[in-house]
Amino acid sequence: MGRGTDQRTRYGRRRARAALAALTAAVLGAGVAGCDAVGGDSPAPSGSPSKPTRTAPAWDTSPASVAAVGDSITRGFDACAVLSDCPEVSWATGSSAKVDSLAVRLLGKADAAEHSWNYAVTGARMADLTDQVTRAAKRGPELVAVMAGANDACRSTTSAMTPVADFRAQFEEAMATLREKLPKAQVYVSSIPDLKRLWSQGRTNPLGKQVWKLGLCPSMLGDADSLDSAATLRRNTVRDRVADYNEVLREVCAKDRRCRTDDGAVHEFRFGTDQLSHWDWFHPSVDGQARLAEIAYRAVTAKSP
């Protein structure tokens, strides 16, 4: 029990301390790993997958302000009087109770009067959209409603229609300008109506055809009663160009996470005589404007596109 006993005792103590240190390290290691597993602040262990980051939804179904850009349809042209704008019945920003516009549905009548603006211009083409967007951006709208492109097809002849490549470049420019000036604004893009269907409905009215002779969309409406092969080819060429334009609108919008289209709903809508202006039988009537507002509201407030 002398020196040998003391050495064995010290050796035993060292082994005990080593075992205790190993046990403590294991317990602490398990504790840290457990914190990471339940989402603690510590970084994830090397090689483990990172946790997904939660971000705010890109689309708000209740924007607080609306600006509209586009052409005569958004200005309510020929809905109230012949050859006149009538923005109070615009599907996008109008105040008329008969239409219940997109802005009124989203904001309420009082707020829509203060926080919605119409920058559309009768006769405008896609090349004009960048300027309209630039002016609208000064208001800082949370939603920009777009309906443009019909006048690019409604030309003096089919050869004068805007080439599809140019149409695409012009829309991309407008979207880039909008995104530069309004990085968080939402954009609703309406499809272009089926112009050939509008012709087929309106040609039944003698008054409408007289107004058409004043130069309303001659590529489609010219020589309205002719059904020969040349006239049919001309109208089908316009129809196909509109389909190409709508595909451009869809493709360009799809590249922007804060942009939605109506998924072709306006183009597919079967305008009847009740939905057409009783002056030119081509532009939407007050009832037609109300239908456009319904389509837009459904698209904007849908939980997913």
Instruction: Please give the Cα distance from 188 to 37 (Å, whole number).
Output: 42
pLDDT interval class at 304 (50, 70, 90) = confident
For the segment 31-83, what is each residue's pLDDT rounded down to a tens digit?
333 333 323 332 333 343 444 544 555 799 999 999 999 999 999 999 999 99
Determine the number of helices (DSSP H) and then strands (DSSP E) in the chain.
12, 5
Instruction: Please give the Cα distance from 14 to 113 (Å, whole number).
Output: 84
Q: Is the pTM of this model over 0.85?
A: no
Give the pLDDT confidence score for residue 57 in this predicted structure. 59
pLDDT interval class at 20 (50, 70, 90) = very low
Ramachandran sector of residue 121 (left: φ over 0; alpha: ψ -120 to 50; beta: rest): beta
Give the pLDDT confidence score for residue 34 in this predicted structure. 32
Give the pLDDT confidence score for residue 5 in this predicted structure. 44
Residue-by-residue DSSP string for 250-284: HHHHHTSTTEEE-TTHHHH----GGGB-TTTSSSB
Q: Does the pLDDT of residue 144 top 90, yes or no?
A: yes
Instruction: Provide the CA 254 distance to its chain's centre, in angstroms.
Output: 9
Q: Which two three-digit tokens encode residue 162? A: 């805007």
For the segment 262-286, what is each residue's pLDDT rounded down to a tens digit?
999 999 999 999 999 999 999 999 9
H-type helices in 98-141, by residue range?
A: 102-107, 109-115, 129-137
Q: Does the pLDDT of residue 4 top 60, yes or no?
A: no
Q: Which two three-digit tokens encode residue 211? A: 């107004």
The domains of the chain, with CATH numbers, are 66-301 (3.40.50.1110)
Mean pLDDT of all residues belonging to the chain:
86
The residue type of 72 is: S
Arithmetic mean of pLDDT, 153-164: 98
For the segment 83-125, what is each residue's pLDDT rounded down to a tens digit?
999 999 999 999 999 999 999 999 999 999 999 999 999 999 9
CA-CA distances (angstroms) from residue 277 to 81, 123, 148, 249, 261?
A: 9, 17, 19, 26, 25
Arithmetic mean of pLDDT, 206-216: 92
Is 127 in contact with 173 (CB distance < 8 Å)? no
Give the pLDDT confidence score for residue 27 in this predicted structure. 35
CA angle 135, 141, 142 (to 5 degrees): 145
Secondary structure element (H or E) that encloses residue 66, with its range: strand 66-70
